């Protein structure tokens, strides 16, 4: 097995050339579809809208290609649905021969808010280069324009910044060449009898489809990377929809192909110019390599991939157990050591204990297929960690599990320790009932955490409540006009952003696509 060392910041990484070669062999073909706009819109500020802006739609005027645009003129094109691809148009002059370059500006938005709020007002802490804007200068007219960057949008604002006093511009052949590696030809429509659930399923599927590129991207606008937490959930939806299991396999080999020197998998990977592991390492995301592999093997029974990747999975188990204290509890710290949810006040200790137990149970599933000697060890460790959770984290007076030195109660702690199967069925069912009746102040901020809430509800037999929560939460996004599901959604604060601005939020995000999994797998 050929090995190399990749340097990244002050860290050192192993590169497994065989695994990376296997991933290269699974590179998917991208499906291309040419889309034309369906209308134009005006956007107005409207506080009754979830994101504060409303799009007023008009049919695409036949006269648009005859309309002359002067400096300062703009038009907002509506493609009618969320798209990922390359934008192009034909531009020609009107009037005297052009005696100066034409300067055009394009702004791409997934939502009407991105068309209404000037990008100059952006004040978030993520780089403003994620805002989708392009300026071009056309020295010769007419010209067929194809912007070189891939964009993610429903709306495109086209503004003429400058020509000269002698000529205006006319635009035609406006289009998007959309891209996805998802093959929709074999996808079956759900046709759910509940109209809202049927719509939720369709939006879920489109969310996954637009995130399926050369890898399962977390978001086609931002970050356009392969994140392990997102991959795990995307793969679950994929097994129920597109069934492009080789893409899951490719992503698993990529993560195993570039690991930290001690064998830990990174939380995410960059694909260009080469496969590069990010220097962000998260306790829960590394463990989800085990869970994602177990789900993939359950779906495919791919023994060769199990033989190849089991050592990487086992190494994540070893490293995670190294963080467990003598009392059997995952050790807490003040750094960003686990993700769990976007919540600045959330303590991660108790939910991380649940993630560890959950993933050890997944590891045991794999060990039964390939490493029987470690089944007994894993069973003993699972029992030990469960007992420690009851002894150290359960607060009888509160009726909840607590987390960290401050003994915090949170939704995430209860949900993950239910998924870890702490206590008997009655205990977990009563805990979920208590959570529903008296939810802790530290709630849930993302569809990612909501996925695990739905999973926990189903695990204790609360399928009816799970269905209602899907309709309430993801249905809330649909009713707010979502074409694809958002990275973040708090019904009480729909424009919430952990990054300081809703403009930078991703409105097509991988971890949000899971209602299709629940609806199709469990027949909700």
The pTM score is 0.96
Is there a domain that residue 190 lies in? no
Same domain, 63 and 146: yes
Same domain, 205 and 279: yes
Is there a domain that residue 337 lies in? no
Per-residue pLDDT of the chain (524 residues; tens, 9 = 90+): 344 556 555 789 999 999 999 999 999 999 999 999 999 999 999 999 999 999 999 887 766 767 899 999 999 999 999 999 999 999 999 999 999 999 999 999 999 999 999 999 999 999 999 999 999 999 999 999 999 999 999 999 999 999 999 999 999 999 999 999 999 998 999 999 999 999 999 999 999 999 999 999 999 999 999 999 999 999 999 999 999 999 999 999 999 999 999 999 999 999 999 999 999 999 999 999 999 999 999 999 999 999 999 999 999 999 999 999 999 999 999 999 999 999 999 999 999 999 999 999 999 999 999 999 999 999 999 999 999 999 999 999 999 999 999 999 999 999 999 999 999 999 999 999 999 999 999 999 999 999 999 999 999 999 999 999 999 999 999 999 999 999 999 999 998 999 999 999 999 999 999 999 999 999 99
Same domain, 429 and 485: yes
Same domain, 234 and 310: yes
Structure tokens at 45: 């500020």
How many CA atoms lie less than 13 Å away from 456 in the CB half-sphere? 32
Q: Which domain holds residue 105?
A: 33-178
**140: Cβ–Cβ under 8 A, 6 or more apart, which residues?**
none
- Domain count for the chain, please give it: 2
* Domain edge (last residue) among 178, 209, 238: 178
DSSP H helix total and E strand total for the chain: 14, 17
Position 10 scores a pLDDT of 73
Residue 303 CA to residue 86 CA, distance in Å, equals: 39
Specify the 3-state DSSP secondary structure of 436: helix
Same domain, 166 and 252: no
Q: Put residue 22 in one of left, alpha, beta given phi > 0 → left and psi -120 to 50 → alpha.
A: alpha
* Domain edge (last residue) among 178, 204, 235: 178
Position 7 scores a pLDDT of 55
For residues 388 and 327, is the Cβ–Cβ distance under 8 A? yes
Cα-Cα-Cα-Cα dihedral sign, residues 404, 410, 415, 421: positive
Is there a domain that residue 313 lies in? yes
Same domain, 39 and 121: yes
Same domain, 172 and 210: no
Position 182 scores a pLDDT of 97
421: domain CATH number?
1.50.10.10
**23: Cβ–Cβ under 8 A, 6 or more apart, which residues?**
250, 251, 253, 254, 257, 275
Same domain, 147 and 207: no
Antiparallel, parallel or unpaired: β 74-95 and 151-162: antiparallel
Same domain, 162 and 216: no
Residue 391 CA to residue 382 CA, distance in Å, equals: 14
């Amino acid at each position: 097995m050929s090995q190399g060392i990749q340097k990244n910041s002050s860290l050192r990484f192993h590169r497994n050339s065989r695994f990376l070669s296997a991933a290269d062999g699974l590179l998917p073909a991208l499906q291309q579809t040419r889309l034309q706009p369906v209308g134009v819109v005006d956007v107005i500020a409207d506080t009754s809208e979830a994101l504060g802006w409303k799009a007023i739609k008009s049919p695409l005027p036949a006269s648009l290609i005859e309309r002359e645009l002067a400096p300062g003129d703009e038009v907002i094109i509506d493609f009618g649905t969320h798209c990922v691809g390359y934008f192009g148009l034909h531009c020609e002059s009107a009037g005297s021969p052009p005696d100066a370059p034409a300067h055009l500006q394009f702004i791409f938005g997934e939502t009407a808010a991105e068309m209404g709020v000037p990008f100059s007002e952006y004040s978030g802490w993520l780089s403003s280069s994620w805002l989708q804007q392009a300026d071009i200068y056309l020295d010769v007219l007419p010209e067929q324009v194809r912007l070189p960057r891939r964009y993610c949008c429903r709306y495109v604002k086209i503004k003429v910044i400058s020509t000269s006093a002698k000529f205006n511009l006319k635009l035609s052949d406006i289009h998007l060449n959309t891209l996805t590696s998802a093959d929709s030809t074999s996808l079956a429509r759900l046709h759910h009898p509940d109209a809202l659930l049927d719509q939720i399923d369709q939006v879920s599927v489109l969310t996954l489809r637009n995130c399926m590129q050369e890898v399962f991207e977390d978001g086609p606008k931002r970050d356009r990377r392969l994140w392990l937490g997102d991959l795990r959930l995307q793969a679950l939806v994929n097994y129920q929809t597109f069934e492009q299991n080789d893409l899951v396999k490719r992503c698993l080999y990529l993560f195993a192909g570039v690991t930290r020197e001690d064998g830990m998998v990174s939380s995410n990977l960059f694909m260009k110019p080469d496969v590069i592991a990010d220097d962000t390492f998260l306790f829960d995301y590394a463990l989800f390599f085990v869970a994602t592999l177990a789900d993939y093997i359950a779906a495919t029974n791919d023994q060769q991939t199990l033989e190849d990747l089991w050592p990487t999975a086992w190494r994540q188990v070893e490293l995670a157990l190294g963080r467990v204290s003598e009392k059997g509890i995952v050790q807490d710290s003040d750094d960003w050591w686990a993700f769990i949810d976007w919540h600045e006040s959330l303590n991660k200790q108790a939910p991380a204990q649940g993630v560890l137990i959950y993933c050890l149970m997944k590891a045991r599933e794999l060990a039964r297929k390939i490493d029987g000697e470690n089944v007994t060890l894993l069973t003993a460790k699972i029992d030990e960690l469960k007992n420690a959770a009851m002894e150290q984290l359960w607060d009888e007076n509160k009726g909840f599990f607590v987390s960290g030195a401050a003994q915090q109660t949170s939704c995430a702690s209860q949900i993950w320790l239910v998924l870890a199967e702490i206590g008997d069925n009655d205990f977990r069912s009563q805990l979920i009932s208590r959570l529903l009746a008296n939810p802790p102040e530290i709630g849930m901020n993302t569809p990612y955490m909501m996925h695990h809430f739905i999973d926990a509800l189903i695990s204790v037999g609360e399928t009816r409540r799970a269905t209602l929560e899907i309709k309430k939460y993801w249905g809330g996004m649909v009713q707010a006009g979502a074409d694809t599901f958002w990275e973040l959604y708090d019904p009480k604060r729909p424009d919430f952003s952990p990054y300081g601005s809703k403009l930078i939020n991703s409105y097509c995000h991988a971890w949000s696509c899971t209602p299709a999994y629940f609806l199709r797998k469990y027949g909700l």
